[in-house]
Structure 1
Amino acid sequence: MSSQVRLRLLPSARCLFDEPIQVKVEGLRSRQVVTMRTRLTDEKGVVFSSSATYRADGSGEVDLKRDPSLGGTYIGVEPMGLLWSMRPDTMHKRFQKTRSLEPQVVKFSVHEEEGRRLAEETNERLLMANGFNRVLVKEGNISGVLFTPPDGPFPAVFDISTLRSELRASLLANKGFVVLTVTVPTDKAGKIQEMHLDMFEEAMDFLKQQPKVGGKGIGIISRSKGADIALSLAAFVPGVDAVAWVNGCNANVGTPLYYKKQQILSPLLFDLSKCIPNESGAVIAKHALDDPRAEKNKGSLIPIEQATSHFLFAAGEDDLNWDSKAYMDQMVERLKCHGKENFESVSYPGAGHLLEPPYGPFCSSCLHVESKGLSILWGGEPKIHAAAEVHLWNKIQKFFKTHLICDKPQTKPSYKFKKKKKKDDYKAGVKEK
């Protein structure tokens, strides 16, 4: 490595996972062309990497906030492009982060055109700041993880996840919420014949009883199958004040839904023969679900007009897993027909199904546990999808802070890391109502 070249990650090489950093290189020759690279290994041993070519300015500096990538895994001015454009070394893999106590280590490096490494730096992206607690919960029918900020009290958010991960829940706790995350039971072997809303109500009650929770109501955040469970909780179970629904359905998907030993919703079924294969070997499942508006499926539609909660509906218009934008539009129409105004909606042209907290590697396809061994194409153009994640993540936080009220004086959670006001990075195409 060159002793004159310095790679800097600002304001610190140690930050929260969803916080942006400024990447700068100093000490290059005037107008020198270099390649920037990143590399990480996730918990399953999958390696993700990215690269981009830059030309230094007259002072021998490269600043990713200012300078465009000339080629690589992305092009143009993309300050966080080296992170979201990382690709797996094996097809149909997604970045997995289930151990929130350990930071995700990302190696940044800068290389000459010939490949010689000039400088490197390690970025530790943490899921939890100092003072935050993570507790495994196994009580009754509950199996999940509870995240609690220091001080308090705080509003409570119930995170219903379909892909096992602690990323969203732990990062949301850092914003000033007590968060319980549970994973929807998967039906790998076809053994789950019915879903019971009672088990999710039990988790909600457990969350409400936590000593640092202020207020009687809770919020729910969910995506995909978890999103229709969230809608059902809002419609049938008291105490839900706010629901953030992301790329889900307006009907009960997959299995009959029971509450207090009675079936309340019939299932909206899949037809896997309607999946469309693409050249990568993954399939487009967007039209595999039956039409929830068909007469035979009306018993699966969730009566969201019964809910007293506020709704945030968010859909990626390039979702290739479900027709989420259409389902969102149907819910908006249904609520309007019932004279309801307790909702807001946002859609993202060019964004796919897996809308996550920002700055993780974009996932184009991966194995779906309930698709009988098929890899699913999730949709989304990486650059646009990454910008949508930034916009939606900020919007979700604002939504919960607006509609979840503490009945006790609040304190702000203590952070080790300097907070920076985020700009709204998603500009073109976002549609809000």
Structure 2
Amino acid sequence: MSSQVRLRLLPSARCLFDEPVQVKVSGLRSRQLVSMRARSTDDKGVLFRSSATYRADGSGEVDLRRDSSLRGSYVGMEPMGLLRSLRADALHKKFYKSDARNPHVVKFSVHEEEEEEEGEGRTLAEETNERLLMGEGVSRIPVRDGNIRGVLFTPPGAGPFPAVLDLYTFGGGLSERRACLLANRGFVVLTVALYGHDDLPKKIREIHLDYFEEAIQFLKKQAKVGSKGVGVISLSKSGDLALSIASYLPDVGATVWINGCSANVAFPLYYKKSQILPALMADISKVVPTESGAFNCKYAMQNPLAEENRATLIPIQQAEARFLFVAAEDDLNWDSKAYMDEMVERLRHHGKENFESVCYPGSGHYLEPPYGPYCPSSFHGVLGKPVLWGGEPRSHSAAEVHLWKKIQDFFRTHLTCDAAAAKAKL
């Protein structure tokens, strides 16, 4: 490495996962061409890499907040482009970061590069960015309480804090990332698994709303919780579960629906041992293969508005909770925008004003907390094949930054806290 070249991550090389960093290089030759690189290994041991070519200014400096990439994993000015464009060598890999105790460790480096080549080049400087999922003082407690299997995250301090049930997405196992990051921002968050975690069954054939009712009551009993109602946040298949929770169960104050469906999908829904909603199913013949080997599933679901499927629609018009509907316009998993439009029209028809909606052009299915690697395609647990998620990388990443703040503001507005109620639990 070159002794005079310095790579800095500002304001600190250690930060929270959802915080941006400024990448700066100094000590280069005037107008020198260099390759900026990043690499990180996920929780499954898969290596993800990105690179971009920059030209130093007259003072021998590169600043990713100011300068544009000339070629590589992205082109143009994108301050966090090296993180967004991290990609595995193999196709259809999603960056897997589930356990909140493991930080997202990214190794940044700067290398010599020739004018017209993309050779390895001598390493001039490097720095490690430790991107924490768990902030200082946040508690993480695995939960095995009654039927509930999950993890509870609680912010430091006495509170009171609003409570949120995080359903993340529908699938085996458990993801802690979003729940923990919300706890860093002042929410008591319980993330739960439905199957494939702990002693839960490997597969399921039906879903019982009672499980989520039990989870909500567990959250409300937590000493630091002060909100009268509980928030629910979802993504994908869990979006329709969140709608059903808000429509059928008490104590739900605010619901965030991200790229879900307006009908109950894939599995019949039960409550108090009785079926309350049948399942809307997919038409596999409408799953379209692509040259990459991944499938486009956007129009595979049957139409919930067809007469034979209307019983699968979730009666959101009976919900008292506030809704935040979020739709990615380039979602290729299914037509989230059409489902959102249907729900907005239905609520207005019933004279309801308890909702707001936001659309993100150029964004794909997996809208997650910001500054993680963008995922264009990966394995679909239900379909058993790799699928396209959609989205233009830069637009998708910008949507994640905007949405992350909007979610927090939405919950803070509609989950007001009562200090006296929290104190009474202590």
Query: TM-score, with normalisation over the residues of structure 2?
Result: 0.94
Q: Secondary structure at the match of 2:317?
A: helix
Secondary structure at 1:233's aligned position in 2?
helix
Shift of 1:375: 0.7
| Partner Cα distance (1:73, 1:191) in 2 | 38
CA deviation map 1:339-378 (0-9, x unaligned) = 011111000111000001000001111111111x211110
Q: 1:129 to 1:102 in 2, by over 3 A?
A: same
* Offset at residue 90 of structure 1 (A): 1.5
Secondary structure, aligned partner of 2:137: coil
In structure 2, what is the equivalent of residue 360 of structure 1? 372
1:244 to partner: Cα distance? 0.6
Q: Which amino acid aligns with 2:411?
A: F
Partner of 2:345: 333
% identical equivalent positions: 67
Question: Aligned partner of 1:377: which letter?
Answer: L
Quote the Cα distance in structure 1 between the aligned partners of 2:330 and 2:202: 29
Which runs of structure 2 are paired with 1:219-238 in the superposition (5 Å)? Answer: 219-238=231-250
Structure-to-structure mapping, 1:5-404, within 5 angstroms: 5-113=5-113, 115-151=121-157, 152-162=159-169, 163=171, 164-185=174-195, 192-371=204-383, 373-404=384-415
Taking the aligned partners of 1:407 and 1:22, their CA distance within structure 2 comes to 39
Corresponding residue SS for 1:405: coil
Give the stretch that moved more between structures: 84-93 or 235-244: 84-93
CA distance in 1, matches of 2:17, 2:240: 28
Query: 1:171 and 1:89 mapped to 2: Cα distance?
Result: 28
How many Å separate the matches in 2 of 1:142 and 1:191? 16
Cα contact 2:32–2:60 (8 A) shared by 1: yes
Asked if structure 2 preserves the Cα contact closer than 8 Å seen for 1:195 and 1:258, the reply is: yes
Aligned residues: 409
Q: CA RMSD in A?
A: 1.6
- How far the C-alpha of 1:273 sits from its partner, in A, is 2.0
Q: Is the 8 A contact 1:313 1:328 kept in 2?
A: yes
What amino acid is the match of 1:169?
A: A
Q: So what's the TM-score if we normalise by structure 1?
A: 0.92
Query: Post-superposition shift, 1:234?
Result: 0.4
Shift of 1:185: 3.2
Per-residue Cα deviation, 1:256-295 (whole angstroms, up to 9, x for no partner): 1111111111110112221001011010111111100000
Moved over 4 A (4+): none
1:103-129 CA-to-partner distances (Å, cap 9, x unmatched) read 111000000015110000000000011
Unaligned residue ranges in structure 2 (runs of 5+): 115-120
1:161 Cα deviation after fit: 2.2
- Note closer, same or farther for the CA distance 1:197–1:272 as it changes in structure 2 (3 Å cut): same
Q: Is the Cα contact below 8 Å between 2:378 and 2:387 reproduced in 1?
A: yes
Distance 1:105 1:53, change over 3 A: same
Contact kept in structure 1, 2:52 and 2:72, CA below 8 Å: yes
Q: Distance in 1 between matches of 2:335 and 2:317?
A: 21
3-state SS in 2 of match to 1:216 = coil
For residue 141 of structure 1, report the CA deviation from its aligned partner.
1.1
Aligned-residue offset at 1:216: 2.2
Whether the aligned pair in 2 keeps the contact of 1:155 and 1:214 (CA below 8 Å) is yes
Is the 1:161–1:183 contact (alpha carbons within 8 Å) kept by the matching residues of 2? Answer: no
SS in 1 for 2:395: helix
Residue number in structure 2 paired with 1:429:
none
- CA apart distance, 1:186: 6.7
Aligned-pair CA distance for 1:215: 2.2
Structure 2 Cα separation of the partners of residues 191 and 9 of structure 1? 44
Structure 1 residue 313 displacement after superposition = 0.4
Distance in 2 separating the partners of 1:131 and 1:274: 49
Deviation by residue 1:137-160 (Cα, 9 ceiling, x = unmatched): 011111100000011110000000
Structure 1 residues without counterparts, runs of 5 or longer: 412-433
Which amino acid in 1 is paired with 2:376?
A: S
